[in-house]
Each structure stands twice: as C-alpha cells, then as structure tokens.
C-alpha cells in the first residue's frame, strides 16, 4: 500500500500525466491484468465481461488516488553533491535488505481462493469485491509512483533509485495478487486503463515523503492487525488473502522505514515549525480519510469479525506512535476527545451521503450540503487545533530499519 490514503486533501494541482512506465519489465508483466472472461463462458463464444475500469468504480472524495511529484526537485534532494545529509551507507544497507526479497515466493495462490469466493454471497460478496478493488488501486498507485521515482533518480542517486524500483516490484506484486483475487469473483481491474485515464494529484516532494511514510505505516498496521485478529478468530477467515498479510505487511513496513531514512536525509522537512504543522496536517488527513472510509464499510469489517471503530482506533494509535519516532509533531490521538471528534465527522458524513442519495434536485441538495460541509470542516479544524504531541528526534540512532512483528 502506498500514497493512497490521503483523499481528503484537496489536490494542489491536478494533471493527467502519462508515465513512461516500461511495459516490458518482466516483473510488471507478471501481474498485468489479462482480459477477464467470466469462468462460465471461458470456453464458449460468449463475449467477455468488460473489465472494471475507473468508470466502473464509484468515484468519491475518499477514493484512493494516484500521485505525482516534482521529479526535478527530487533529483536535487537526492544529489549527494548537493545534499551532504544523505547517509549512503544506510541506503546501501536498506538496498541490501530489499534485494534479499523476502517475499519472492510468498504470493502464490491455491484453490482455496476460488472456493472461498464462491461461498461469499449476498451483500458481503459485493463488499469484498469493493475491498479488493480499492486495495488493488491503492497498491497500484504506489507501484506507479515508485516506478517513476526509480527511473528518474537513476543517474543522480543509483542506490536510492534502485530501492524505489524494488519497492515498485513489491507494490506490483501486491496489486497483482489483489487483482488475481478479483478474478475469483470473475472480475479484473484494467490497470492499464487506470494508468492512462486517472487524474494524478500533484504533491511537492516534501509532502510525498510525509504522505507516503504515513500510508506505508498505516498499511502495515492495518494488515498486521487484521492478520492477528483472524489468526486468533479463524472462524472469520472467509477469504484466504488475509493469511498472506503477515509477510505482506513486512513489505509495507520496510517501505515505511525507507521513507523514514529519506526524511532523515532531509532534516529541513523535520526540524522547523512548518514541519510540525505539516506533520499534524498529514496525520489528520490520513486518519480522518481512513476512519470515514471504513465507517462507510462497516459490513466488511463486521464480516470478518472486527468492530470497525475499534479496529480503526487501534490502527490510528499504533500508526501515530510509530510516526512519533520521526515526525516532529503528531496528534494527540489517545486523547478521548480525538475519537469523539472522529465520530462526529462520521455522523456528518452520513448525513452528507444521505443528501447526496436523496431525490432532491441538485440545487436543493447543494443548499442542504452547505451547513453539513461547514460542520465537517469545523470538526476537522478543531481536531487539527487540539494540543499536539511534540515528537521526533534528529538523533535516530535507535531507530534503525528492522523487521517488526
């Protein structure tokens, strides 16, 4: 997972950008979606079902997004001639770890998948499909961004560039595995179409670092929490993909640790009052986006035996504690008032959705939405203004990359 949990943030600049994503890379080919033919008709002349494309997925403010950045500025930041803070030996150690490729043989499917998918019927089936689609889009978003960073930084900093390429390998695997999961439901996301047709949200490099660090770490905590819960409660193991989360989340953890090393190499992004404000802003955006998203999908979390809000708060608190090691300030998410504010946002969001789905004419809908949006924004600002927790340290000696279980 990467760079996809920030949908609440208003894009600063949007552009449809064609990435020069190499299509001949063997790693990429290994997960490229194939035209999906419904199983029942695979051997007949029945036309194939259309692939799921962006148009087939309901787009909302909270839909996972694709990101792009200022690659020239990135090149400056990673030029060892210009930036003397780059700890090349740390990056080389990280590169060694990525090259080890712990999960090379991890993502292998078995017949359990299709059988489990066939058993999933009714509303839970639909919600599983949506889970797979959203997760696949989020993973694929990371793949595109890292692939391009790997390509663009090759000359300036080959070590950092190679790490980005290896991270894109991981995200490609994750996206591919999820897309194969969709095939159990006789669907496939057309990732090629998504690459071309999606709007890319532009973030300056500094914001890419904050956002991606958080996305990776929150991804780690989500996956490991679901994995541990299902291990303890196997009766809710309704689809085998969750069994893969333990090793999978270690990829996300390593990705997050790499961004932590990148941030350390850019102390200007960590050591002033602006960094503190931005850190809190990105934490809030990521946490609120996840909370609102998940509360819209309680059926999914309840379907695997979780209490959505308890699960989310656990993930938020753990992510925040991890983030506090590197960000100069974080939110006081363990203050009960923070959760109360999140719950009020959920209530307002539900009212907003009800207005959106009503039969009123567009003008009436908009008039009804104004006070609700105002209330939602007020809650978000109030949460942002809660007294923060001072955190982080530029002396990172004890925070070396490590496998966390």
Residues that bind Fe ion (CB under 5 A): 1-2, 139, 171, 174, 216, 252, 255
Which residue number, 5 or 312, has a Cβ lying nearer to Fe ion? 5
Cross-strand partners of 66 = 200
At closest approach, how far in Å is the CB of 25 from Fe ion? 17
Alpha helices (H) along 233-335: 245-264, 273-295, 298-303, 308-323
Residue 315 or 383: the one with the smaller Cβ distance to Fe ion is 315
Helix, strand, coil in percent for the chain, rounding step 5:
60, 5, 35
Residue pair 106/247 in contact by the 8 Å Cβ criterion: yes
- Distance in angstroms (rounded) separating the CA atoms of residues 218 and 319: 6
* Nearer Cβ to Fe ion (216/379): 216
CB atoms within 10 A of CB 26: 6
Q: Dig out the tokens for 92 from the structure.
A: 């080389």
- Shortest separation between residue 180's beta carbon and Fe ion, angstroms: 15
* Nearest one of 232, 169, 197, 231 to 2, comparing CA atoms: 169
* Bridge partners (DSSP) listed for residue 330: 389
The token pair that represents 135 in the structure block: 């997760």
Using the minimum distance from each CB to Fe ion, give the nearer residue, 68 or 253.
253
Minimum CB–partner distance for residue 144 and Fe ion (Å): 12
| Closer to Fe ion by Cβ: residue 75 or 139 | 139
Closest separation between CB of residue 146 and Fe ion, Å?
Answer: 8
Q: How far is the CB of 138 from Fe ion (least distance, A)?
A: 8
Least distance to Fe ion, CB of residue 215, Å: 7
Specify the residue, 255 or 341, whose C-beta has the smaller distance to Fe ion.
Answer: 255
Calpha distance 376→378 (Å, rounded): 5
Strands (E), 328-381: 329-330
């Amino acid at each position: 997972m990467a760079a996809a949990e920030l949908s609440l943030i208003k894009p600063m600049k949007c552009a449809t950008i064609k990435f020069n994503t190499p299509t001949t890379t063997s790693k990429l080919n290994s997960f490229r979606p194939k035209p999906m033919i419904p199983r029942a008709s695979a051997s007949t002349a029945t036309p194939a079902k259309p692939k799921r494309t962006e148009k087939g997925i309901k787009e909302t403010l909270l839909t996972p997004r694709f990101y792009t950045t200022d690659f020239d500025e990135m090149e400056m930041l990673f030029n060892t001639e210009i930036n003397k803070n780059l700890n090349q030996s740390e990056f080389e150690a990280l590169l060694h770890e990525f090259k080890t490729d712990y999960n090379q043989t991890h993502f292998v499917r078995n017949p359990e998948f299709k059988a489990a998918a066939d058993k999933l019927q009714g509303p839970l089936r639909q919600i599983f499909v949506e889970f797979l689609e959203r997760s696949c889009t989020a993973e694929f978003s990371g793949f595109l961004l890292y692939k391009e960073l790997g390509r663009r930084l090759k000359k300036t900093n080959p070590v950092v560039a190679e790490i980005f390429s290896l991270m894109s390998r991981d995200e490609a695997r994750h996206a591919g595995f999820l897309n194969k999961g969709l095939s159990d439901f006789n669907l496939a996301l057309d990732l090629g179409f998504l690459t071309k047709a999606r709007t890319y949200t532009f973030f300056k490099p500094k914001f890419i670092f904050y956002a991606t660090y958080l996305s990776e770490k929150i991804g780690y905590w989500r996956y490991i929490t679901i994995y541990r819960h299902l291990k303890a409660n196997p009766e809710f193991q309704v689809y085998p993909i969750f069994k893969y989360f333990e090793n999978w989340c270690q990829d996300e953890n390593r990705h997050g640790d790499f961004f932590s090393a990148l941030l350390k190499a850019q102390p200007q992004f960590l050591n002033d009052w602006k960094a503190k404000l931005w850190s809190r802003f990105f934490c809030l955006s990521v946490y609120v986006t996840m909370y609102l998203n998940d509360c819209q999908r309680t059926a999914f979390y309840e379907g695997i035996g979780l209490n959505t809000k308890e699960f989310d708060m656990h993930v938020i608190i753990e992510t925040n504690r991890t983030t506090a090691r590197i960000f100069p300030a974080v939110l006081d998410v363990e203050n009960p008032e923070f959760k109360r504010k999140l719950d009020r946002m959920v209530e307002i969001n539900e009212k907003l959705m009800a207005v959106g789905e009503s039969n009123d004419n567009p003008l009436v809908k908009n008039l009804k939405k104004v006070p609700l949006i105002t209330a939602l924004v007020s809650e978000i600002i109030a949460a942002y203004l809660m007294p923060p927790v001072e955190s982080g340290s530029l002396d990172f000696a004890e925070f070396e990359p490590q496998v966390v279980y």
